[in-house]
Amino acid sequence: MTATEPRTDEATKVTGTRLLRKEDPALLTGEGRYTDDLQIPGALHMSVVRSPFAHARITSIDTADALASPGVVAVYTGADLADLWADQMPMAWQVTEDMHNPPHFPVTQDTARYVGDAVAVVLAESSVAARDAVDLVDVDYDPLPAVVDLEAALTDEVVIHESAGTNKAYTWDLEIDEAAVAKAFDEAAHTVTGHFVQQRLLPMPMEPRAVACVPEPFGGGLTLYSATQIPHILKVMTAVTLGMSEADIRVVAPSVGGGFGSKLEVYAEEMLCTALAHKLRRPVRWLEERSENAQATIHGRGQIQEIDLAADADGKVTGVRVRLLADMGAYLQLITPGIPLLGSFLYCGVYDIPAFSFTCTGVFTTMTPTDAYRGAGRPEATYAIERGMDLLAREVGVDPAEIRRRNYITHDQFPYTAVTGLEYDSGNHESAAQIALDMAGYDDLRAEQAKRREEGGTRHLGIGMSSYFEMCGLAPSRVLASLNYSAGGWESATVRMMPTGKVQVVSGATPHGQGHETSWSMIVADKLGVSPDDVEVLHSDTNTSPHGMDTYGSRSLPVGGVAVALACDQVIDKAKQIAAHQMEASADDLELSGGVFTVRGSPDKEMPMAAVAFEAFTAHDLPDGVEPNLTAQVTYDPPNFSWPFGTHVCAVEVDEETGAVEVRDYVAVDDCGTQINPMIVEGQVHGGIVQGLAQALFEEAVYDADGNLQAGSLAEYLVPAAPDVPPMRLGHSVTPSPTNSLGVKGVGEAGTIGAASTVINAVVDALSHKGVTEMRMPASPLHVWEALQAARGGD
């Protein structure tokens, strides 16, 4: 289809179709350009000397042997580099005024606080020379006790940061109405309490981190290439940390092989490559090893949750109380302290709950810092309330599906103002749940379960469900301000129709696997009546896209994609004026369909958008006061979050003798409003479910008491492989968001948010007749066996 070919809207609509992703041919044929693929003549390679101790004072560092090693150009300790930093490592979320944000520098200056903490760096002419010399740096450590247990950390017997004087980073309360909560619990017919551990997870993107910083010739400043989700934020933060002008730093995120939150970060290695390239006026690059990725890239989750539910005699929840301990790790990274806060709003789940209280204490430990990992606070919250609902069902004596039905916010209650003060835009939980239960054959599964229990045996069928809200589209800037987050939540888009009718989009979102080039092209195609192939999407380079808030929090479509649509609307408005002038008609009489303007009442008159673009370009005959060129720039600050939702149901088989869990069937019904590309949506949901299932069944960043990461490689850290992935059957409903013109809600984290609780509810359900009420994640054979032993009264 060419840009000028007229098409009627519904019949040829591109959005809503399963268009193959534009970005895939290059990625699948090895043409993707990842940071480490860049050919950079004369680059120095950096390698980092990392502490083997979780906690140790550094008494001396001897760099002589390393410096003498072939190819080595420089070795720097923390003290050598101290003058390069205008500020400590960036942290953007001062959740309370008295929160401790202890000193944190790219290379530690006196004490190592986790295994992997940077102690020195080596620069050499080759990566091999740099890596070899790392082993020659002779560091003397005076070991101190490790602190890996959150409760123990809070005793302050061993204080990790002297300047803070305590391991408590902060306590944050969501203060609503304590008296109402107390009353709910006083008057409750039923109460239940859940204690849950959100184990630490390693995000494990396929591409580890990679950084290269190039000083441009002729005083052109520095170009920082990084496998990052946030080039725009990184640019500002680099300028601040290095005390440089923002004008001297350009950040480019080339192809990025997945981030899953772990690249929503400003990392030490980015600051180091930039500062050293600046200092030495030579390019400096670094590629993370897989084992470094386990130690020095942030971890996800790491929370201990306690949730109380109060309910009336029918099981209608009247109050929820949450206490949280959140493991910060050794330092605060970019938004470490804010992750539990993001989750705080979701502890009431999808239910109509009148009273709620939440308190969270952030705790320093001698482990790798934590931060955003797919869902960032929201999978944890959903887990707690959804496990809690199952506990309540059992206490009240009704089916888990029924207890949820009695508590859902019903579709006629939307827009619904939650007890937290946030407004949920739209939803239909009853319907999504019913579709999921029907698809899963819930009643038949329950009947099969009853029959098998009667027959006895050691292989048990379990059925689990959970319903969730995603809370995405981060975020209305004003809400972020109220949470003390130090950036806005807008997104920017520029749309230009070029002289030939092709379209250029500049987006502030930074895709790293999500397929924005395809989605944005589809939005533009329908708006302007062009083929998606005629749309070029520029992104991830602060020179071509100077304004942006980047990609995380399933925000890109509901904020950035909506900005693209709004910019198209402005281009159309302008084109309309020019077309009206050309056709000697009133702009009010013009209609745009399939990329062609027609005049109401004058069927012989029409003008394609492409022709208007050419007129706008030549500017030979424009209406008075209209500037040349069809271009519009929009910065969109959403009025609300968007609230995707859904229900997942799964069936598992648990073998009592081996402790093995097999997921027999997995049904997910997700509602992300209008779907731009259902194929991309399904891919997002599939990937999300697998990450949630991985937490439920396989993954845990296990530490020993000395603070050593025991699962630091892919041999011990069980990322699910293809055969571990169960059959997934997806359904969906479409409840458009009323707050944006596309009706879209995000979907990038939905699968993860719903999955872990669904699987664990099923595993507990499978063993419930054996007295099992709790299951520690991951539900590995060992943990299944331990739960059965505990239920039998053994130890």
Q: Which residues contribute to the site for ligand PCD (CB under 6 A)?
A: 229, 258-261, 264, 372-374, 376, 512-516, 519, 551-558, 561, 672-677, 680-681, 684, 687, 744-749
Q: How many angstroms separate the CA atoms of 266 and 245, rounded?
A: 17
Three-state DSSP class for residue 710: coil
Question: Closest CB to ligand PCD among 95 and 222?
Answer: 95
Select 343 or 595, whichever has its Cβ closest to ligand PCD: 343
Closest distance to ligand PCD from the beta carbon of 182 (Å): 35
Rank residues 227 and 497 by Cβ distance to ligand PCD and give the closer one. Answer: 227
Residue 333 contacts residue 261 (beta carbons within 8 Å): no
Query: Which residue in the block uniquely carries the two structure tokens 């997806």?
Result: 730
Q: 737 or 780, CB closer to ligand PCD?
A: 737
Report angle CA 533, 538, 544 to the nearest 5 degrees.
150
Smallest distance, ligand PCD to C-beta of residue 165, A: 32
Q: Give residue number: closest CB to ligand PCD.
A: 513
**Residue whose CB is less far from ligand PCD, 200 or 374:** 374
Supply the minimum distance, in Å, between the C-beta of residue 514 and ligand PCD. 4
Q: 321 near 211, Cβ under 8 Å?
A: no
Phi–psi pair at 575, nearest 5 degrees: -60, -35
Least spacing, CB of residue 515 vs ligand PCD, in Å:
4
State which residue, 127 or 740, has the beta carbon closest to ligand PCD: 740
- Give the pair of three-digit tokens for residue 573: 């408005």
Minimum CB separation from ligand PCD for residue 552, in Å? 3
Distance, in Å, from the CA atom of 427 to the CA atom of 351, rounded to the nearest integer, reads 11
Displacement of CA 696 from its chain's centroid (Å): 18
Q: CA nearest 74: which of 141, 127, 125?
A: 125
The owner of tokens 């479910």 is 689
Give the pairing of strands 72-77 and 118-124: antiparallel
Q: What's the min distance (Å) between Cβ of 596 and ligand PCD?
A: 26
Task: Report the DSSP pairing between strands 56-62 and 300-311.
Answer: unpaired
Shortest spacing between CB 454 and ligand PCD, in angstroms: 44
Helices 781-791 and 750-767 pack at an angle, to 10 degrees, of 40
Provide, rounded to whole angstroms, the least separation between the CB of residue 203 and ligand PCD.
8
Q: From residue 702, give the alpha-carbon distance in Å to each of 43, 609, 697, 707, 754.
A: 37, 59, 14, 9, 24
Q: In 3D, which of 217, 287, 224 has the Cα closest to residue 252?
A: 224
Specify the residue, 318 or 521, whose C-beta has the smaller distance to ligand PCD: 521
Residue closest to 381 by CA, chosen among 421, 425, 420: 420
Token pair belonging to 440: 């899963």
> DSSP class of residue 556?
I
Pick the closer one to ligand PCD by CB: 72 or 92: 92
Closer to ligand PCD by CB, 47 or 262: give it: 262
Report the candidate in 103, 39, 754 with the shortest Cα–Cα distance to residue 465: 754
How far apart are the C-alpha atoms of 177 and 589, rounded to whole Å? Answer: 55
Answer yes or no: are the C-beta atoms of 696 and 760 closer than 8 Å: yes
CB of 613 to ligand PCD, least distance (A): 25
Burial of 621-644, coded b for 16+ CB within 10 Å and e otherwise, reads ebeeeeeebbbbebbbebebbbbb
Strand 661-671 to 728-732 pairing:
parallel
Per the CB < 8 A criterion, the answer to whether 241 and 531 are in contact is: no
Q: Which tokens belong to 448?
A: 């099969």
Say if residues 367 and 301 touch (Cβ distance below 8 Å).
no
Rg (Cα) of the chain, in Å, rounded?
Answer: 28
* Nearer residue to ligand PCD within complex by CB, 259 or 489: 259
CB of 342 to ligand PCD, least distance (A): 9
By beta-carbon proximity to ligand PCD, the closer residue of 520 and 703 is 520
Q: Determine the longest span between alpha carbons in the chain, in angstroms.
A: 89
Q: State in angstroms the smallest separation of the CB of 170 from ligand PCD.
A: 21
In whole angstroms, how far apart are CA 409 and each of 404, 469, 471, 645? Answer: 10, 11, 15, 12
Contacts of 722 (CB under 8 A, 6+ apart): none
Q: What does the alpha-carbon distance between residue 37 and residue 39 come to, in Å, rounded to a whole number?
A: 6
Q: What is the closest distance, in whole angstroms, from the C-beta atom of residue 25 to ligand PCD in the complex?
A: 16
Q: At its nearest, how many Å lie between ligand PCD and the CB of residue 111?
A: 30
Supply the minimum distance, in Å, between the C-beta of residue 325 and ligand PCD. 21
Question: Is the separation of the CB atoms in 95 and 483 below 8 Å?
Answer: yes
Which of 84/372 has CB closer to ligand PCD?
A: 372
Question: Looking at beta carbons only, is 103 or 678 nearer to ligand PCD?
Answer: 678
Q: Which is nearer to ligand PCD, 17 or 629 (CB)?
A: 17
Least Å distance, CB 358 to ligand PCD, is: 21
- Angle CA 238–241–242, to nearest 5: 80
At residue 565's C-alpha, the angle toward residues 564 and 569, to 5°, is: 115
Host H or E run for residue 444: helix 442-455
Please check whether residue 419 is in contact with residue 344, taking contact to mean a CB–CB distance below 8 angstroms.
no
Residue whose CB is less far from ligand PCD, 699 or 765: 699
> Minimum distance from CB of 550 to ligand PCD (Å)?
9
How far lies 132's CA from each of 65, 126, 127, in Å? 11, 10, 9
CA distance 6 to 4: 6
Q: Which lies closer to ligand PCD via its Cβ, residue 161 or residue 516?
A: 516
Q: Please say which residue, 449 or 733, places its beta carbon nearer to ligand PCD.
A: 733
Tell me the closest approach of the beta carbon of residue 748 to ligand PCD, in angstroms: 3
Task: Show the 3-state SS of 477-492.
Answer: HHHHHHCCECCCCCEE
Choice between 595 and 673, CB closer to ligand PCD: 673
Q: How far is the CB of 682 from ligand PCD (least distance, A)?
A: 10
Instruction: Quote the CA–CA distance of 118 and 272 in Å, as a whole number.
Output: 11
